[in-house]
Structure 1
């Protein structure tokens, strides 16, 4: 099957997936192993072949196209997968969550300067723009470095967001030890990326300083240790007994003065 599209951002990286149950449960309903990526042309169009694989959930099925970076944009197109079972979708609660405000809080400390895992707090103001209440909504928080695909982790928020109300949601975000460079933190709900926040992680210069000092201190210590060993192994001159006359050999006897 060939998937074509237009009207996207120029040079945007997109993911293409075949998903079951209208992707109501997010990417867990999709055939992720057979998914594809494509970069749009300068005019925002794209064309990509996609394997029509059977998703892990029954139909109704869709082709899910979504941006990987930047502002989250997704489009679902109905698809008939021949031979795949079709099951009626569960009744929706009518909740529809959107992000009204998002920011990353926190800063690196001394331990982060020496390679400890960078940690930030993703602080969100979310609103329920649907007709029903959202009880204990499950979000997905993703972290990605540069152009790499995000690494997602499910986060359950304890509480209820009534229809037409808003709530403050906070999630801790932690990277691997020694991480540095441009990162992006994304929030996904209901299979759609709601917000993406940039995170420029400073290089752990303390680790570099440690190795520089180690390269200076170790050779200096070895040099001093070697000098001590040489000093101990060096032969010492024999001291003359008190009151003894100096003993001269033919080789060491001083010359006689001339007549």
Structure 2
């Protein structure tokens, strides 16, 4: 076996024994961003494409200043042209392609096209870009001292109660472990906790954590997080310190169905109560009927009693018929009143002629 063959066998054995380079796998898995042009002026556009992202993921595309791909964007999205950003959803293979209008960021360059996930686990990537005609200034020096870094994944502790089901504000506790990777201790750090809904920018709120994190030490951080009353849907809780976003945690808030049930009951009960109140008012205002007075009986026509026996006919005919005092047409008003029943005159029997 000659020397060339020996070197070939040795290389093959070493390739089998040595593990593959770690950077190759990680580089293939990391998301990437490519631009159709490295420079463009305000009013133009640039085509942004990428690969290696999670499938079916919503991404935000922004032009940001005071940033380089190695250190990220200083100041977060406050250094970006948020009004001219664009959203895009990756395909089933984690790729995308979108045209982005060029706008001047609120801070000077160096600038980048910043691409970050809007939902789910956080992932971001930058591509160097120059906005023609925009000011370029060197990056401000980072302050010396302690630097905090997240060591473990963040989580939200807590659960919803009965009042939350009826629209009360949802509350959670953001829990994470940070470590000081700087050279000096960090005393009473002030964090910024932001909550964002969907693709909207987070609303930041400053919260001070009481304690000291010494160089090389770790600390458990617990910060309260709450939303507005009746809030529901997909939210994202972000933690920022020193102008850098340390962690992001998704938060799915359920719909307050108790409020919906309340309005359904109100739509049924209120009309019924109004109807009953209206009927009571009508009964009170409506005039009442007066009691009926004595009835006046007028003399009617004389009835002929047909089909009665002579004795019953005589009994019925002997009853006086009631008459009104003022109704007596054949009677003299000055004559004495005779209430005795009139009897027919007995004919006088005459003798034989």
Query: Does the TM-score normalized on the shorter chain lie above 0.5?
Result: yes
Q: When you count strand as a share of all residues, which structure comes out higher?
A: 1
CA RMSD of superposed structures (Å): 3.2
Q: Equivalents in 1 of 2:200, 2:304: separation in Å?
A: 97
TM-score, normalization: structure 2? 0.59
Residue 159 of structure 2 corresponds to 107
Contact 1:183 1:201 survives alignment (8 Å): no
1:152 aligns with 2:197: no
TM-score, normalization: structure 1? 0.78
How many equivalent residue pairs? 249
Contact 2:164 2:256 survives alignment (8 Å): no
Which has the higher mean CA deviation after the structures are superposed, 67-76 or 149-158? 149-158
Gaps of 5+ in 2: 1-45, 68-72, 307-353
Counterpart of 1:237 (choices 282, 290, 307) is 290
Q: Tell me: CA distance 1:209–1:6, structure 2 relative to 1, closer, same or farther (3 Å).
A: closer
Q: Equivalents in 2 of 1:234, 1:63: separation in Å?
A: 82
Counterpart of 1:197 (choices 227, 245, 250) is 250
Deviations 1:198-218 (A, max 9, x none): 33324241x233333333333
The DSSP-based 3-state class of the residue aligned with 1:100 is: coil
Contact 2:63 2:80 survives alignment (8 Å): yes
Contact 2:156 2:172 survives alignment (8 Å): yes
Contact 2:150 2:246 survives alignment (8 Å): no
Cα distance, 1:188 vs structure 2: 4.4
Deviations 1:191-239 (A, max 9, x none): 446232333324241x233333333333333333344344442532326
Residue 126 of structure 2 corresponds to 76
Contact 1:142 1:152 survives alignment (8 Å): yes
Q: Tell me: CA distance 1:238–1:173, structure 2 relative to 1, closer, same or farther (3 Å).
A: same
Q: Tell me: CA distance 1:108–1:63, structure 2 relative to 1, closer, same or farther (3 Å).
A: same
Cα distance, 1:88 vs structure 2: 4.0
Q: Equivalents in 2 of 1:79, 1:174: separation in Å?
A: 38
Which has the higher mean CA deviation after the structures are superposed, 22-31 or 74-83? 74-83
Contact 1:112 1:204 survives alignment (8 Å): no
Q: Equivalents in 1 of 2:233, 2:84: separation in Å?
A: 30
Q: Equivalents in 2 of 1:258, 1:224: separation in Å?
A: 58
Counterpart of 2:105 (choices 55, 62, 79) is 55
Residue 176 of structure 2 corresponds to 124
Deviations 1:47-83 (A, max 9, x none): 2223343322223322221111111111123333444
Using CA pairs under 8 Å that are at least 6 residues apart, name the structure with larger relative contact order, 1 or 2.
Answer: 1
Residue 30 of structure 2 corresponds to none
Q: Tell me: CA distance 1:247–1:41, structure 2 relative to 1, closer, same or farther (3 Å).
A: closer
Contact 1:21 1:60 survives alignment (8 Å): yes
